[in-house]
Structure 1
Amino acid sequence: MVQAVETEPIQNSVIEETSKKFQIDQKVKQRLFLSLFFFLSGFNFASWASRIPTIKAALGLNEAELGSVLLTMPISSMIGLPLSGWLVSRYDTRVPLTLAFLLNAVSLSLIGLAHSTFNLVIALFLFSLSTRIFNIAMNTQAITLQKLFDRKINGSFHGLWSTGGIVGVGVTTFIISQGISITPHLVTVAVITILITLFASRFLLRNDRAATKTKQAFAKPDAYILYLGLLVFFAAICEGGMFDWSGIYFQKVVKEDLFTIGYLTFMTFMAFSRFVSDRIIEKMGMAPTYLMSALCIFTGISLAISFPSFWPALIGFSFVGFGTAAVIPMTYTLAGASEKYSPGVAISLIASFGIVGMLLGPPLIGYIAHASNLKMSFIAFAVSGMMLIPISRLFFKLTKLNN
């Protein structure tokens, strides 16, 4: 009897240690597989975006016509916004994430099979709709996991998105150099996406539906969300526009035959910046990081416009990639601290501003380029980058935050 009493505390201690270790292993595993989906998302998007010059040439589109086709994606995202917000508040986020990745794979293969503008528009609509849904689900999972760690990890997720983009552009560059057409390329990516999704989705975070702060996403946002939304809006103009037009800039303005090099450089420095952004924010604070981001974007675009030859443009795109990288993950992290909305709803609200930025950015560049020239149209990115300074100052003045 005495022995049982003596061993009971030891048994309880072992159980507690085992439980603690299981929790640590579980959150690490969840982070690992969520990271895989961020990587896959970037890979898929880059596989499509780096093929835009190929599609433009195959369908015989001019800059304005391409801009009109690209309007499909933000319009589809806007339509998908209330759906994604409802899904993440109704179900565990792994459910819409899984279904959206499967739809994304199907739509990516349809892009590769599109031989008319109409078919391309349908494929892009589905591609963008699915991307919107899984982006909200992924970022909601990321914000939830962030709260389980004692250090900032959100930037690393977005860094893996950019890394996936780098690999996607690298693979596309190799495929183009081998003369492989777009159809087998994107269909193969689609099959890989389906296989990874069916396997990895089982290991994602579960039971993460918000129990509180689930106000409707259509409610009027407060000043906190409004300022964050505007930061995402201008970042989306820069980021989305560079995704869609950096390859064409190198093809038409820089006169580089291997046009993916500009996009690849932009993505490489974006990935690098996102992996180090968490450390930069911890040392500098968020307010100075927004300022640094704005100055990098402005400097990079100015360099690429003023000296439109290979090395200056390449260095310029490097600065732009480094500058744009931290803005969206940093802003999503701030959204998770909203006192009015759950993380999923807050991110959905802020994402709506990003959609409008995507709506205006790439098509605007196309229309300006058609009216004047592509080089001068990139001034829109420089202006958007500088707008991060006054808006971030207003936000931190409102919240009295700097970290």
Structure 2
Amino acid sequence: MRHRGIADKQQYSSMMHSSSLLSSFHSSSFKRLSLPAMFALFGMSMGSWAGRIPALREGLQISHSELSMVLVCGGLGALLSQPISSRLMSSLGARKTAYYACQALLGVLLCIGAAPSVSLLMVSVLMLGIVASCVNISLQSIATGFEKATGKSEMSKLHAWGCAGGLGGAALGSVMATLHIAPLMHYLLIAMPLSLILKLASESLQVKDEAVAIERKAFCLPRGPLAWLGALGFLGAMSEGSIADWGGVFLKDHFAVSDGFAPLALTMFSVMMLVARLMGDELKAKFSARALVGYGALLSAGGLFFAVLSPNALLALAGFAAAGIGLALLFPFVYSAAGKEGPMAFAAVATMSYSGSLMGPPVVGTLAEAFGMQAAIGFVGSLSLVMAVIASRASLLK
């Protein structure tokens, strides 16, 4: 009996030790995944917004010109957010700023879904631009801090997680539209689970809650070599935002596809962007970031021109997929390069990017109203050609 008791104690001790190791493994694994999870949650929130734009437009009977004004509110909000994000980062730190802004983003989505008029939709989208840019700058600050601390290039994979979230949001939007579920109900269904996951991820994030010093200026423009990064951010934001906001509208107007098919433009764009970003850090080790961004921009131009000239919607999706590959590595490498120059440098490049997101919607909307959606998407393709030239001169891309 005595030997049996000793054996039982040893077995119990072994089980407890194994359980402790397993718990420790899961805890450490979750901590490693906390930042990627926050990138994914941010991407899913924005993908859920972009994926339902065709449905929101149809529900309120919005014209091309009115939609362009709605979308420009998002860019304006992003541009105006810099003093807000700077104040939050300096008082709360990057982790808490990202957490509170992400929670606010979910609330703003509900306001967008419930907006009964174009004017209230514009106000809601303005708030979306403000809180989304606060999330963006805080997450990028955390990511560049990790890169500096570890000496490893991780930005591309983190942006891949954002793509995965955006893809999930857009795909879910397509399913919801096919099932004729209104945007408000869609956003209500995802708000609670995303909020809970966000809380867990934020609490597990291994970041000190210390102030991040960023000069509080309404506008902060890059100078010298940073100007090339700023220009890439400006044009890249115009291109990505235009594809996200207008890709589905292009398919619906030009090919008369259904509400369920229209979000597939963003879905294909996001899928291939995700694939490219998963390989981005390894490719950067073999080739220069400058070459990857430059040749990627040429591929993006070719893909968008192919989409414009395609005889049917399925072939047009292949063009959007090529554009996703081509533009995939621009922001990970541009933001990484700017972050290495310090917080002010990153803020300057971010300001230029926000300006691009501000300019894109009205320009594309005006072109669509005057010349049609083919001309509007073709214009976005021409921006990629300009990016290829600029990338060849961006010395900070290494």
TM-score normalised per structure 1: 0.87
Matches within 5 A, 1:143-292: 143-207=144-208, 209=210, 221-257=222-258, 258-292=261-295
Confirm or deny that 1:364 pairs with 2:363: yes
Deviates more, 1:358-367 or 1:215-224: 215-224
Displacement after TM superposition at 1:150 (Å): 4.4
2-side partners of 1:150 and 1:143: how far apart?
10
Asked if the contact 1:85–1:136 (Cα under 8 Å) also holds between the matched residues in 2, the reply is no
- Determine whether 1:333 maps to 2:336: yes
Partner of 2:82: 81
CA distance in 1, matches of 2:133, 2:206: 19
Secondary structure at the aligned position of 1:61 is classed as coil
Deviation of 1:220 (Å): 5.6
- Matches of 1:78 and 1:309, distance apart in 2: 37
Task: Find the counterpart in structure 2 of residue 91 from structure 1.
Answer: 92
Letter of the structure 1 residue corresponding to residue 380 of structure 2 = F
1:43 is paired with a residue whose SS is helix
CA distance in 2, matches of 1:334, 1:28: 28
Q: Which amino acid aligns with 1:385?
A: S
Counterpart in the other structure of 1:4: none
Contact 1:85 1:348 in 2 (8 A): no
Distance 2:53 2:33 in 1: 31
The residue aligned with 2:40 is 39
Q: Which runs of 5+ in 2 are unaligned?
A: 1-24
Match of 1:375 in 2: 374
Deviations 1:18-52 (A, max 9, x none): xxxxxx99996544111111101111111111111
Cα RMSD over matched residues? 2.1
Q: Which amino acid aligns with 2:191?
A: A
Between the aligned partners of 2:312 and 2:183, the Cα distance in structure 1 is 28
- The code of the aligned residue for 2:121 comes to L
User: What's the CA shift string for 1:294-325, capped at 9, x where partnerless?
Assistant: 11111001111122412321111111111111
Residues 263-290 of structure 1 deviation map (CA, whole Å, 9 limit, x = unaligned): 2111111111111111121111112112
Deviation, structure 1 residue 210? 6.5
Calculate the TM-score normalised by the size of structure 2: 0.88
Cα deviations across residues 316-348 of structure 1 (Å, max 9, x unaligned)?
Answer: 11111111111011101101221xx33xx3322
Is the deviation greater in 60-69 or in 275-284? 275-284
CA gap 1:33/1:197 in 2 versus in 1, 3 angstroms: same
One-letter code aligned to 1:159: A
Q: How many residue pairs end up in the alignment?
A: 371
**How far apart are residue 363 of structure 1 and its match?**
1.9
- C-alpha distance 375-227 of structure 1, shift in aligned 2 (>3 A): same
Residue segments in structure 1 that go unaligned for 5+ positions in a row: 1-23
Matched with 1:111 is: 112
Distance 1:220 1:47 in 2: 31
8 Å contact kept, 1:103–1:126: no
Letter in 2 for 1:169: A
